[in-house]
Chains A and B, each alone.
Chain A
Amino acid sequence: MHRTTTHTTTEDGFDYMANTGQAEKDRDACGMLLAVAIIAALTFFQYLGLY
């Protein structure tokens, strides 16, 4: 059985809804790169007529 604290914070103080500093920048960068990759791939594949 899992022990639950608040909805967002773990026992060791990690708050998953907090999003600041370097972690935020890195997450933004990951999302952005993934998005650009997906958009580029889908566009490219469509231009090639793969779907």
Chain B
Amino acid sequence: MRNRFILWSILFLLLMGLPIGVPAAAAGHDVHGLPPADDMVFLPHLPGLRNKALRNDNGQKRMLSEAVALRGSSVQDGKASVPPGGFFYLSEVSGDAAPFAGDPFLLLGEQAYLVDLETGSHETKGLSVKLRQKAPVDDTGYRVWFDYATDHYEKPYGEIALIAPSGGWPLEMPVSSAFEGRDQARALQVGEGFVPQIKHFFLDREYLYGATRVVTRHLDFDRVDFESIRFPVIRSATFSMTRPVILDIRQEDYRYYFNKRIYAFRRPDGFLVRVTDFFGDVVLAEKLVRPATAQGYKTMASERDQYQLTIPELDMRIEIKIEPALARNSDFAPWAASKAHGFGEGTLRLVVWRNLVTVRQGEPWPLDPRYVVGLEPNLMTGMLQRLVLENAEPFSLDNETGSIAGPVKWSDWWFNRPAFTLTAGDLDGPACHNLYLRDYYLVRTDNMVFWPKEGRRNIDFFVGLSPVLEPILESTFLSRLADPSFGTVVEGSHFSSYPKAISDGSFYEPDHSAPFVPRFPGLKRKIYRNGKGERLLAAESVFIRGSYVDYRNGRIVIPPAGLCYSSRNARNVRPLAEESFHLLGKRAYLVGFDSSTFVRKNFQLDFWKNQPMGDDNLMYWQDQLLGVRNKALRFTGHHYLDDRPEAELSLMKYSGNRWGSHFFMAQGLAPDAGNRYRMPEVFAEGATWIVPEFIGTQFVRIKEFGTPTINSISFTYDKPADCAMAAGEEVPLGGYVVRCERTEAAAGAVTLSLLDREGKVLASKELALTPERARLLPQDRDAVRALQLAYADVVVELDPRQPFSAGKANLHAYTGVQLLERDTPFEFDPRFMVRPDVCGHCYQFNELLLDNPEAIVLDRAHPTYDGPKGEDGQPLFRIVIDSFDGEMIHAWHMETTEDGETRRSENLAFQPRDNLDVLLGVTGTTEGFLRLSMLPRLAFMEQWRTWSRGGYAKLSGAVNTGGSAHIRR
């Protein structure tokens, strides 16, 4: 239901058809919050753009990254034009950077530290946004995007995102004005284990995300009206461009700081810090400073001032740090190795920050007025996440003035100089043929025009491996990864003495370097109309997960549940609407489904941090399984918000995909009590809910958790017949005859009987569309069944949209109905098991998986394996190992027979590999896998294009933490 696959497919088709995309915005538009052009070039590396993992004063890991991007450009008449805000540098930190934590931050290549922040919030009221529109929020540069709307019980709910000026956003927020709020979940009365469907559907009108709050007034399918959108802003930030000077000092004594003395006198509520001249005669500054420790509330505006003494004219900021010896794995002061606070010896530690640079939101960068500063907070914590320096004035490049210097960088030991220079050359008419970026080391990128003869119509690009690229590429990443220009991209494996060996592939995702083959002849991808006339995309994919080479025995192993066939539509498949999906290349129609709720009560969930194998070879013992082969609950992240723990949980599906929603919860945050943040105390979206008892940072104790599960579906390959019947009429159906006994149009009821050829009544039922049932359609199983008469392999159902016309009942008749039951062998090929999967929000059929219950072993004597076979006994595909030396797979491919011809994929081990993991075809499932490995994949594509062997950093998706974490969906 949350699946946005149809959007992808439309974009995908569009992009496949257009060799060159349309610029995102013509020059002159406000480009804030918009992505670069669809055909912009992404290069992951330039030495001057750094990627570092550092630890702050509290020992917390911070991933720092830098990037340079250009958007909204166009090339005309030999001139490339860039609007204001089009050319920008950005520096990003994972999580956030806050005062008093010694948080590192990169500033144009320099390793700086954030020391102070002035924060606030912005609220806009009465904003209306149309579907797919990205509407500006006042003059903040932010945009609100109404990405997607769908329905439940035929009532609308939607997903919106708040996009920062750089183009980044942390998550999509589901909101609605038509359903019950999340707090109603507390009132649910259900048993434990498998219980019947619940009728409730929860979706709040208010989305709470720490410092961000979105309140919806009204949402329908093509427009949303907001009551209020409030989000944090940062007014100014102060950085120390170098590491601090750290002085251990005894109380009532002084230490020299260059030519100054700094005294510390003990007072009941802190230390009186006094700065004097060299001889101690002239007092330059004096203030009572309290020691700063790790408590988060100290960053509040009302508290901040008590913990530091800043003397701008002396370029000093003094803090007193309490630094426990156990936090020694910190880049903050790696040489500090004594007792921390030092009361054992009567000493304390002064931290003197210097080389202070203060930047203000919307004002010029202090070293270069051509560039304007943007400070983007983490929308949850309100602290600094991203710094942007963007061009203040529009500019253009032509063959005479082919270069523009980027912002001037601060330098500790060398002169301040531009951090990078952009050069565009060989501009003729509407195309640019040469484009590169040169950093302050004078190193340049490859030509960012990949086909110089043809040239490009814009000069948009993104250079640097920064996670903000993930939301920026939201609409184009799939078409980028599926781009066939450079053949099937295959990443070589690293061969080790200890290749991963997985005993069971359930809940795993394919290797992050698994080749992705977007189009494979045997796999269908087609748009069908359902009974309502809606166009729905149905697609198939195949993936292999958890496979490995057992080199000691010279064989390749695909573990149980490792070879998966998946059929999935752009949204879930609904009954009573003659909706179709694919089953092994054939069109099948959904007839019915059997779902229930799985409820667990009173259990603990460990924080998912101990990954004992440490090699992407994960152990799932910290997950809580919800039923067998259904879903697994995982505790993936936490923050402190005003010192209260906030937990992030997510649901893993059997397919290895994450369910779209993230479960954010924190207890006891109250704005009335002075908290800056608000978070939901329970989670409830659709029919999945969590009522926590205790939320901690190491574990969460859950009082009640419920989520849908699907047991079986019924379908048919035969096209359903529509018929209208009046009382007394008879229609043959399969080997039977349907007779309409009675119609009551006013009551919405029809009574049908099913007779055999001799006229004997085999079954009889009144199908009645009562208002109560209509309210629950099409998602409620019982309401659906009440409209269906089923016997043996035939089903007759009443059309819920228009049950009667001209006194006749409108019926759909299905013959040849078959049942696909969870965990049973597939009818035509018992080597495979049936695993239907459910939509997480509701109870409907979402995906059909066929996977192997036994391990598959391939070696030189057995180099092929047939995929699942259909009714005709023909396998859908075949795995063929062409060259395997017992350790390295040098060549293998997938093949299928189409029109009597064998169609092969490209070699999927073009560079030698140690596993057979692969993604074939595009469905929401493969899209989910690709999303988790987006950045490393895109980075590798660039290596593949030029056949270079440079290393690349794994910033995201290295492990399946339930999201590449930068984009939580």
Tell me, yes or no, whether A and B come into direct contact in the complex with CB atoms closer than 8 A. yes
**What is the interface of chain A, defined by CB distance below 8 A to chain B?**
46, 49, 51
Residues of chain B within 8 A (CB-CB) of A51 are 497
A20 vs chain B, min Cβ distance (A): 41
Chain B 492-504 interface mask (CB, 8 Å, partner A; 1/0): 0000011000000
B498 partner residues in chain A, CB cutoff 8 A: 49
By a CB distance below 8 angstroms, the chain A residues around B497 are 46, 49, 51
> Could you list 4 examples of A-B contacts with CB < 8 Å?
A46-B497, A49-B497, A49-B498, A51-B497
CB-defined interface of B502-537 with A at 8 Å, one 1/0 digit per residue? 000000000000000000000000000000000000
User: Please, which residues of chain B bring their CB within 8 A of the CB of A49?
Assistant: 497-498
B614–chain A nearest beta-carbon distance, Å: 16
4 A-B pairs with the lowest CB-CB distances in the bound complex, closest first: A49-B497, A46-B497, A51-B497, A49-B498
Alpha-carbon separation in the docked complex, A40 to B952 (Å): 33
* B interface: dominant SS: loop
Smallest CB gap from B498: residue in A? A49
In angstroms, Cα B498 to Cα A49, docked, is: 8
CA of A46 to CA of B497 in the docked complex: distance in angstroms?
7
Interface string of B467-500 (1 = CB under 8 A from A): 0000000000000000000000000000001100
Q: Which residue of B lies closest to A51 (CB)?
A: B497
Cβ of A7 to closest chain B Cβ, rounded Å: 35
Minimum CB–CB distance from A44 to chain B (whole Å) comes to: 12
Rounded to whole angstroms, the CA-CA distance of A46 and B498 in the bound complex is 10
A49 to chain B, nearest CB (A): 5
Interfacial residues, chain B to chain A (CB-CB below 8 A): 497-498
- The CA of A6 and the CA of B644, in the complex, are separated in Å by 77
CB distance from A10 to the nearest CB of B (A): 43
- Closest chain B residue, CB of each to CB of A45: B497
Bound Cα distance A51, B498 (Å): 9
A37: min CB distance to chain B, Å: 20
Least Cβ–Cβ distance between B533 and chain A, in angstroms? 63
CB-nearest residue of chain B relative to A50?
Answer: B497
Contacts of A46 in B (CB 8 A): 497
In the complex formed, the residue of B with least CB distance to A46 is B497
Q: How near does chain B come to A9, taking the closest CB pair, in angstroms?
A: 42
Output the least CB separation between B402 and chain A (Å).
49
- Closest CB in chain A relative to B501 CB, distance in Å: 13
The closest CB in chain A to the CB of B496 belongs to: A51
**Please, how many angstroms separate the alpha-carbon atoms of A45 and B497 in the complex?**
10
A49 to B496, CA, bound (A): 10
A38 to nearest B CB, angstroms? 17
Query: What is the minimal beta-carbon distance from B495 to any residue of chain A, in angstroms?
Result: 11
Complex Cα distance, B179 from A40, in Å, reads: 71
- CA distance in complex: A43, B497 (Å): 11
Q: Name the residue of chain B whose CB is nearest to the CB of A49.
A: B497
Question: A49 vs B552: C-alpha distance in the bound complex, in angstroms?
Answer: 11
Cα of A2 to Cα of B498 in the assembled complex, Å: 52
Minimum Cβ distance to chain A for residue B550 (Å):
14
Report the bound CA distance from A33 to B705 in whole Å: 67
**Complex Cα–Cα for A46 and B552 (A):** 11
Bound CA span A49–B497, Å: 6
In angstroms, how far is the closest chain B Cβ from the Cβ of A23?
Answer: 40
How far, in angstroms, from A51 to B496 measured CA to CA in the complex?
Answer: 8
CB distance from B776 to the nearest CB of A (A): 59
A51 to B497, CA, bound (A): 7
A14 to B179, CA, bound (A): 95
CA distance A48 to B498 in the complex (A): 11
Complex: A46 Cα to B887 Cα, angstroms:
14
Q: What CA separation (Å) do A41 and B498 show in the bound complex?
A: 18
CB distance from A48 to the nearest CB of B (A): 9
Q: How many Å lie between the Cα of A28 and that of B497 in the bound state?
A: 32
Smallest distance from the beta carbon of A41 to chain B beta carbons, Å? 15
How far is B361's CA from A11's CA once the two chains are assembled, in angstroms? 74
Whole-angstrom distance from the CB of A45 to the nearest CB of chain B? 9
Closest chain-A Cβ to B196's Cβ sits at a distance in Å of 53
Complex: A2 Cα to B497 Cα, angstroms: 50
Bound CA–CA A46/B551 (angstroms): 12
Q: Least Cβ distance of A42 to chain B in Å? A: 11
**How many angstroms between the C-alpha atoms of A17 and B497 in the bound complex?**
41
Q: Whole-angstrom distance from the CB of A35 to the nearest CB of chain B?
A: 22
Complex Cα gap A4–B497 (Å): 50
Q: Give the complex CA separation of A38 and B498 in angstroms.
A: 22
Q: How far is the CB of B486 from chain A (nearest CB, A)?
A: 35
Distance in angstroms from A24 CB to nearest chain B CB is 37
* B891: min CB distance to chain A, Å: 25
Docked pose: A38 CA to B219 CA in angstroms = 72
